[in-house]
Amino acid sequence: MSQKTSNDLQDLQYFGEYGGVNPSISDSSTYTFISAKTMFDTFEGNTEGCYLYSRHSSPSNLYLGEALAALEGTESANVTASGMGAITAVILQLCNAGDHIISSRTIYGGTYAFMKNFLIKFGIKTTFLDITDLDAVAKAITPKTKMIYCESVSNPLLEVADISALSRISKKNELPLVVDNTFSPLTVTPAKLGADIIIHSLTKFINGTSDCVAGVVCGTTEFCLSLKDVNNGAGMLLGSTLDSLRAASILKNMRTLHIRMKKHSENAMFLAQNFEKDGLRVVYPGLPSHPGHLIMEDQMNPEYGYGGLVTMDVGTLENANALMELMQERKLGYLAVSLGFYKTLFSAPGTSTSSEIPLDEQEEMGLGNGLIRFSIGLDDDIQRTYSLMKKCLLDLKILDITSIKA
């Protein structure tokens, strides 16, 4: 299964305008027509291969979309100016005023805020629930429900969604299953497990260089075209368009995604295993102690590992802040939000990327304020990184030498 995913990507081959090994970048916001009739037909969506205006589509964005559709095994993909640009367009395309959404309660804080605070303006209500409780998901469906939403591996708790089981529920009820796969590109292929629409923040692993913000919606050609419809497509009308120059640079960075994912996963596994042995409260889908470990094993493409994200609960916000500051001082990474960079990035989600979630709800879902989310980097010598991180933990007395398990 995974073999095919990487082969589809590998087989994509483009020739630039002058035979270049990279496709030429479309440096135009608008396109000419020889005949006025063709322009009219293009507006009506009847002309294949004609470009009209770059908010609608551009050659560079289509090339990147093609690569992402190959990555996710979907018919088509539309790139957007951010991950949130993809999420908001999908939701507003699927839901009308007064509709209902079922969503995992552990999702990116921005998505949570959009569903909870913004959609309410249109009377669209969201039931947030424990997505691993399949009975609760089935019971929450009402005649007004228009979608089931989750993240394959959730931000920030790294909860693993059982995509095949959720897809059986969604198909039985004729609802689309929308999966944000930002944390696990290549590792998980949600479409092959039955998901209908797959979203990424390209800002993270897929681009991998923390130099831009972008997103994508992968799905059927019919759905992707509906998003671009000039009369009622949420993608076209909300205007979250990716710039062609950025689309071209993300496509080039994507060429090394498979190598990077393997290294992120290898390093994350090494640190997770060792810090767990040291007696720290570590969460990583690759550890047998993770409640979703077996589901992950069942649905992952094993050669890419369990992903680059690890969380560690160091008890208090003071400990978390002191550790992150010291790690940055000792050049072990950056105290920064986001993920998928070559250096390790760390932040305390309770006071940053998940701060939109009220404190009582954070507590209920197990998001303590001593929790640190690490996006493990591509360090060549991870044994050295482990020793240096451990020294930080010992110096701050978060880890006590006498309590380290043998």
CB 291 within 8 Å of CB 252: no
Q: Is 71 in the site for ligand PLP (CB under 6 A)?
A: no
Give the range of 51-59, 76-84, 89-97, 312-320 binding ligand PLP by CB under 6 A. Answer: 76-84
Nearest to 148, CA basis, from 175, 171, 174, 113 = 175
Nearer to ligand PLP, 84 or 124 (CB): 84
When asked if residue 110 is in the footprint of ligand PLP (CB under 6 A), the reply is: yes
Q: How far is the CB of 120 from ligand PLP (least distance, A)?
A: 20
Of 52 and 345, which has the nearer Cβ to ligand PLP? 345
CA dihedral 14, 20, 21, 23 (to 10 degrees): -40
Under a CB-based contact definition with an 8 Å cutoff, are residues 222 and 190 in contact?
no
Residue nearest to ligand PLP (CB): 83
The reply on whether position 213 binds ligand PLP by CB under 6 A is: yes
Q: What does the block give as tokens for 347?
A: 């932040």
**Residue 258 or 373: which CB sits closer to ligand PLP?**
373
Q: Which residues from 329-388 bind ligand PLP, rule CB under 6 A?
A: 353
* Contact window for ligand PLP (CB under 6 A) among 7-15, 179-187, 317-325, 384-392: 179-187
Alpha carbons 349 and 286: distance in angstroms, whole number: 21
Closer Cβ to ligand PLP, 153 or 392, answer by number: 153
Burial of 125 (0-12, 13-18, 19+ CB in 10 A): middle
Q: Is 104 in the site for ligand PLP (CB under 6 A)?
A: no
76 binds ligand PLP (CB under 6 A): no
Using rule CB under 6 A, residue 234 touches ligand PLP: no
Does 72 bind ligand PLP (CB under 6 A)? Our answer is: no
Spatial CA neighbour of 262 closest among 307, 297, 221: 307
Looking at 244-358, list the stretches that DSSP marks H as alpha helix, in order from N- to C-terminal side. 244-254, 257-277, 293-299, 317-329
Establish if 240 lies at the interface with ligand PLP (CB under 6 A): no
Q: Which of 381, 404, 79 is nearest to 249 (CA)?
A: 79
Say how far apart CA 345 and CA 30 lie, in whole Å. 39
Q: Give dist(CA 276, CA 145) in Å, integer.
A: 41
Candidates 84, 137, 216, 357: give the one binding ligand PLP (CB under 6 A): 84
CA–CA separation, 369 and 350 (whole Å) = 5
Distance separating alpha carbons of residues 96 and 75, to the nearest angstrom:
25
- How many residues belong to the site for ligand PLP (CB under 6 A)? 15
Question: By CB under 6 A, is residue 82 in contact with ligand PLP?
Answer: yes
Nearer to ligand PLP, 84 or 236 (CB): 84
Per-residue mark of binding to ligand PLP, 140-169 (x: CB under 6 A): -----------x---x--------------
Could you say which DSSP state residue 36 is in? H
Q: Measured from the CB of residue 251, what is the shortest distance to ligand PLP in angstroms?
A: 17
Contact in structure between 260 and 301 (CB atoms under 8 Å): no
Of 23, 65, 83, 285, the one binding ligand PLP (CB under 6 A) is 83
Binding mask 185-204 for ligand PLP (x = CB under 6 A): ----------------x-x-
CB count in 10 Å sphere of residue 30: 9
Region of 67-75, 82-90, 320-328, 382-390 interacting with ligand PLP (CB under 6 A): 82-90
Q: Please tell me the distance from the alpha carbon of residue 21 to that of residue 369, in angstroms, as a whole number.
A: 48
Residue 336 CA to its chain's centroid (Å): 17
Q: Which is nearer to ligand PLP, 90 or 320 (CB)?
A: 90
Of 5 and 155, which CB lies nearer to ligand PLP in the complex structure? 155
From the list 176, 215, 219, 305, which residue makes contact with ligand PLP (rule: CB under 6 A)?
215
User: Greatest CA span in the chain, whole angstroms?
Assistant: 80
- Interface contacts to ligand PLP, rule CB under 6 A: 82-84, 108, 110, 151, 155, 180, 182-183, 201, 203, 213, 215, 353
